[in-house]
Structure 1
């Protein structure tokens, strides 16, 4: 795969556009879930997902599409994401948050996202992932 372009974004460009649209987003989500399945460091978050995890992959892809300023696929199909409420059945603490973030950072690195885009996305991912914590450490 080619490296992400480092061109400066314009005011009208969304994160979805900058990161490469649907095809690149699908590749990111698939790499993220592949890493969760393959790497023992991510076993604690992998067990929170159904096997096979096709529905989880699709839901994350659809959610991130809208979250990044692309088509609101998740909302069109399922309604408001209610992220925190949907994740309440799963014990999410700092360890789980950090594993999710490491898997996503690794996936972006594997796909050649440039450093500025990785930093921008990880800052946003951290805010959301931190908000998802629902158990004491």
Structure 2
């Protein structure tokens, strides 16, 4: 059984990602990193990515190709502070998810690593 199936599949991933983007939508530091006025497309891409990453359908790569996460995020200044804000919202999302402590730990370890991996600028944006 994949981790995707173990945690409840699409319904669980959908809930986590929806809660995460609800936080991003109101975050003054993160929101500028999402240039689309409607966060819906970004939310869908992230949901499909996580579903595939954890062993669910391959819809993400079928429609977008290899994730190439660093390349796709290169146009945006992902600072350590932005990564920390990203993790604040992801932690809130995981806290509301129906996960066992072991599942939560596995998910959290992945996203904390991913957040640090995506940092591509040490320069804080001008205010």
TM-score by length of 1: 0.82
* Match in the other structure for 1:23: 11
* Match in the other structure for 1:88: 74
Alignment of structure 1 residues 2-17 onto 2, 5 Å? 13-17=1-5
Q: Which segment drifts farther, 57-66 or 17-26?
A: 17-26
Q: Deviations over 1:64-106 (max 9, x none)?
A: 1111111111100011111000000111121111111111110
| Deviation at residue 37 of structure 1 after TM alignment | 1.8
| Deviation at residue 115 of structure 1 after TM alignment | 2.5
Matched-pair contact (CA < 8 Å) for 2:83–2:115: yes
Q: State the aligned residue count.
A: 122
Counterpart Cα distance in 2 of 1:52 and 1:86: 18
Counterpart Cα distance in 2 of 1:103 and 1:25: 14
Match of 2:31 among 46, 65, 84: 46
| Unaligned residue ranges in structure 1 (runs of 5+) | 1-12
Counterpart Cα distance in 1 of 2:28 and 2:59: 28
Counterpart Cα distance in 1 of 2:59 and 2:86: 22
Alignment of structure 1 residues 94-105 onto 2, 5 Å? 94-105=80-91
Change (3 A) 1:43 1:19: farther
* Match in the other structure for 1:10: none
| Deviation at residue 19 of structure 1 after TM alignment | 1.7
* Match in the other structure for 2:95: 109
| Unaligned residue ranges in structure 2 (runs of 5+) | none
* Match in the other structure for 1:128: 114
